[in-house]
Structure 1
Amino acid sequence: MKIALLSYSTKPRGGVVHTLALAEALAVLGEDVTVWTLGRGGDAGFFRPVDPAVRLRIVPFADGPADETVGARVLRSIATLRAAFDPTPYDIVHAQDCISANAVDAACIRTVHHIDHFTTPELAACHERAIVEPYAHVCVSTAVAVELADGWGIEAAVIPNGVAYARFAGTDPAARARWRSRLGRYLLTVGGIEPRKGSMDLLEAYALLRAGHPGVRLVIAGGETLFDYRDYRSRWERRAAELGVEPVLLGAVPDDDLPPLVAAADAFAFPSLKEGFGLAAMEALAAGVPLVVRELPVLREVFGPAARFATTAGDLARELAAALTDDDQDRRTAGRELAARHTWTETAQRHVALYRSLASDRSRLSAR
């Protein structure tokens, strides 16, 4: 099959990581795969090298005016990708986000990674169209599929993410040692500072944790996003100053540096308020790092006995302290085994089966 996978960015966000890994796994299975995306800020490539078996179509997307709103940027993103994309050569068009689904006029399969609730009118409309108009849907967890069914009456195929297990489980000891030398003992989270990631709760939890673990640092990696979280970031920084804590903000980390950064952490914090799967947290389990996550149905489903769970900032502080002090080999073993079961090969195989089923159904309908 000729398959087009569409994303909205070249940056290292969860949906983009998913898109590239799925594309490469599909290509290994012999499928003809092209990834389409927008090259924001002059980007001519993705945040990491991509298997040359996967074709790349990166559509230039110039920076807008300094006063461009998020809504205007979303509309311009949709229009730019729509103008460049031709669906004619493809048997399957599979959009990974609301921008790309809107760009192909919803004549696509859509992966709903998680369900958002936007207040920006343009984003809210984009989100709604990208849910109701595609002819088929994929969710990466049952919990999100249930949300989709309850909210819109849509039945989705559930195909969990894979994880690059070997990449995180077998990191170079020298690379890990370099991170330890630079940062000392540290808690890590990946995803930047934004409301959905529960950044404020993590900050409060870290301040509580330091009373018993003054030498442990909080390290925050990542943060590439389409949205404008400057107000939230300012509130977060003011609160950090009030609490007297200074987390280490690494920003976007080079792709080769991420696995040893994760593996060298003493614990991984994942206090997100909204998730569809938790790929970064699964990577931490692959690295054998103790994991503390938010008490959410989706994270209970995905991580079960492999993680510790917390609801409030106080809970989070207690569970992170326990992760730092308890030598819980059973939980670490369960985490590694769980991560190892989530292969991109199986994810790709299940996508191919879905694609073929949908193509067959559409052929039969067209013949009537």
Structure 2
Amino acid sequence: MKIAIEALGIHYFGGGRTATLNLFEALFTLDSRNEYLIFLSQPEPSLNTFAGNVTQRIAPVQNRFLLRLWAQYSLPSAVRGYDLVHFAKNLGVFGISAPTVITMYDLTTLVHPEIFPRFDVWYWRNIQKQTLLDAEAIITISKTTADDILRYYHIPRERIRVIYPAYANHFKPASINEIACIRDRYRIPETYILHVGRIDRKKNLTVLVRAFAEFQKQTTFNGKLVLVGEEYLKSRDTILHPTIEQLELRDEVIFTGRVPDSDVPALYSGAAVTVFPSLHEGFGLAHVEAMACGSPLIASSAGAVREVLGEAAILLDTIDTNSIVEALIRVVKDPILRQEMQRRSLAHSEQFRGEYSARQTLRLYEELVLG
């Protein structure tokens, strides 16, 4: 089979970028027979290993809006003669003659339209709907997102496949020395509470900051709150920094910015607890990565989180200051509970290895092309 994959702009895509690259590496390790052409907006060195049957084609533009225009006008002719086209990150284009597959990560833009620009909401309600209706199959990363697709787009259920994304192999518990090196690199104290992910309104970090301030008042905790990730300007959390100033937490909250993927396992491994208070998650890959490193987790149950994490984390149905403070006190102050949560995290993460998602994806390709 000749398979084209459109992954333009994945470097903007947060956890979706990680999930996409993890799938590529697992898929190309599994399948050396078929021919793959991947459209990217910048080279991905990790894919050079598979140069025998994988070709990277780099778009001539970088701007996100121009990338979509380039894709719409260039892809239909560029993929002529291919057996299947897979749009790997939510957005498809029109005019493709081959069967198409679109991977949908979440529908947060429709579930919480109040935190997104109006144009984005309009696009997802109209253009995105039509590209999904035109696709032969839709891959989604959770049953929750599949339900959202049915609810907002009324796509026939038989065209939707749930394939859980996988975490990368380097997510595993770090050694004491590795943790110490990472703490020195980012000037993080021995004890800290962690969040990893883009800094935006969806992640609900202002509530976490308020809870952290209250947690410090109620306990003798002398560690820091560490926020790992870059700010996302399209859905910027405009009250996060003012809240930190108001609560006089400037010296208590550490912003690392975006860090190399190779540094993240040690950050997870060294944390007293990792907290994800998101408003919505289509899957929660960062949650699974944290578990693979043995971190205890406190998380909002919003979106697919309960489906993905099950009983392996403390899940909060109500995300407010009090609920987070109570959970932090339970975990941070009880070493026996924390050890049990670490054990559960490691065991639960085993079901999200790359080979499973790669086999299911390849099987779908074969069904669509070979029948």
> TM over 0.5: same fold?
yes
Q: 1:274-285 counterparts in 2 under 5 A? A: 274-285=280-291
Report sequence identity in percent: 26
Q: What's the counterpart of residue 181 of structure 2? A: 178
Aligned residue identity for 1:120: R
Aligned residue identity for 1:94: H
1:170–1:144 distance in 2 versus 1, CA, 3 Å:
same
Aligned residue identity for 1:322: R
Distance 1:148 1:278 in 2: 17
Query: 94, 110, 124: which is aligned to 2:102?
Result: 110
Q: What's the counterpart of residue 8 of structure 2? A: 8
Q: What's the counterpart of residue 341 of structure 2? A: 331
Tell me, yes or no, if structure 1 residue 316 matches structure 2 residue 316. no
1:240–1:303 distance in 2 versus 1, CA, 3 Å:
same
* 8 Å contact kept, 1:78–1:103: no
Q: What's the counterpart of residue 242 of structure 2? A: 238
* 8 Å contact kept, 1:169–1:288: yes
Q: What's the counterpart of residue 49 of structure 1? A: 46
CA offset digits 1:275-318 (Å, max 9, x no partner): 11111110110111000110225111110111111222221222
Q: What's the counterpart of residue 69 of structure 1? A: none
* Partner secondary structure for residue 144 of structure 1: helix
* 8 Å contact kept, 1:23–1:33: no
Aligned residue identity for 2:180: A
Distance 1:360 1:23 in 2: 21
Q: 1:256-335 counterparts in 2 under 5 A? A: 256-310=262-316, 311-313=318-320, 314-326=322-334, 327-328=336-337, 329-335=339-345
* Partner secondary structure for residue 60 of structure 2: strand
* Distance apart, 1:105 and its partner CA: 5.8
* 8 Å contact kept, 1:23–1:34: no
Distance 1:2 1:222 in 2: 36
Aligned residue identity for 2:165: N
Distance 1:224 1:37 in 2: 23
* Distance apart, 1:96 and its partner CA: 2.5
Q: Which runs of 5+ in 1 are unaligned?
A: 40-44, 64-72, 362-368
Q: Which runs of 5+ in 2 are unaligned?
A: none
* Distance apart, 1:51 and its partner CA: 4.6
Query: 162, 166, 187: which is aligned to 2:166?
Result: 162
1:180–1:114 distance in 2 versus 1, CA, 3 Å:
same
* 8 Å contact kept, 2:87–2:101: yes
1:97–1:237 distance in 2 versus 1, CA, 3 Å:
same
Tell me, yes or no, if structure 1 residue 352 matches structure 2 residue 362. yes
* Distance apart, 1:122 and its partner CA: 5.0
* 8 Å contact kept, 2:90–2:105: no
Distance 1:336 1:297 in 2: 22
Distance 2:350 2:309 in 1: 13
Q: 1:205-220 counterparts in 2 under 5 A? A: 205-211=211-217, 212-220=219-227
* 8 Å contact kept, 2:182–2:263: no
Distance 1:123 1:6 in 2: 22
Distance 1:175 1:304 in 2: 29
Further displaced range: 77-86 or 250-259: 77-86
Distance 1:266 1:142 in 2: 31
Q: What's the counterpart of residue 79 of structure 1? A: 69
* 8 Å contact kept, 2:298–2:314: yes
Q: What's the counterpart of residue 138 of structure 1? A: 139
Distance 1:62 1:353 in 2: 33
CA offset digits 1:126-169 (Å, max 9, x no partner): 443343332211111111111212332222111111122x4222
Further displaced range: 131-140 or 279-288: 131-140
* Partner secondary structure for residue 256 of structure 2: strand
* Partner secondary structure for residue 311 of structure 2: helix
TM-score by length of 1: 0.84
TM-score by length of 2: 0.84
How many residues end up aligned between the 2 structures? 340
Distance 1:270 1:320 in 2: 12
* Distance apart, 1:120 and its partner CA: 2.2
* Distance apart, 1:248 and its partner CA: 1.0
* Distance apart, 1:170 and its partner CA: 4.2
